[in-house]
Structure 1
Amino acid sequence: MIRFINTFGFVGLMRPAPGTWGSLAALLIGWGLERYVGFPALLIATLAVTALGFWSINVALKDRPGEDPSEIVIDEVAGQWLAMLFPAVAFFSKDLAMAWPAPITAFVLFRLFDITKPWLVGRADARHDPAGVMLDDLWAGVFAGVSTLVLGIIYHIIFL
């Protein structure tokens, strides 16, 4: 069961780039959840998968310090959904569902920050413990979410 959770239903076993496959699965599920059930559902799902990820990764890696197996993608799901919360709450405040290209922008920026690991993302990754496995993706999600909002504001100032 722990492997099923950590691989997000075995999506983490897909090759190449399991982290990208995990983020893509998260994008599709999160976007559908927000669009058809609503922002509160995405918020609750994000909180739930984050808590579940901290627990399940800790269980899986308790005897393997310093490891971050590529098949573990529950952290990418949590980070991707966190990144999507930023534009989702902006649309929710206007009583709308999140629209193109906000989720795609959040996805691209999340992958960028997760792969390049700038500043706090890299510091969390350098912890080399189960919490660090989750924290680097959560920081990447925050950076991607804020960047998505900033790009949206710039777009609206210039083009609208």
Structure 2
Amino acid sequence: MNSAFVVRGSSNCCQRTDGAFTIMVGQRGAQGRPGTDSGGGVQTIICTAGETISALRVIYESQQLARPVNPATESVYQALGLAITSGSIGTDINIQTQGFVDDSSWSWTEGHVWCGANGVLTQTPPTTGWDFIIGFATSATRLYIDLNEPVLLA
């Protein structure tokens, strides 16, 4: 397998000697936050709450802070997924971006699930604002998160 390494201008990461490059070791960056990989196609991220966030709300991020989506605004374009933990301002919350979520308090009918006011899940299609399907219910207590492209209603 052939590889190419191209550097234009000066660089602190490598030196060119006799037509060959020597890659120099850099400094390690700060440790990132631990992930929440639970396998099975489930994808989650950790964000800092910009206000008190209830679990099972559709969340967007702005200026590195998580907030509930308001489907009357363009915050739908910044949606990340569904909060699977709650938190107060400044605390970390887990947001699931794709995959199945189960909750025994739900009573869905199989079919689409939309983002309602303040990020609340609903099976009532909107008549104004943004039509934003966040996934579909596969049973009364199970939702598959699959964020759709928001559509502005006329």
User: What is the TM-score of this pair, normalised by structure 1?
Assistant: 0.25
The one of the two structures with greater contact order (alpha-carbon pairs below 8 A, sep at least 6) is 1
- Structure number with the higher strand fraction is 2
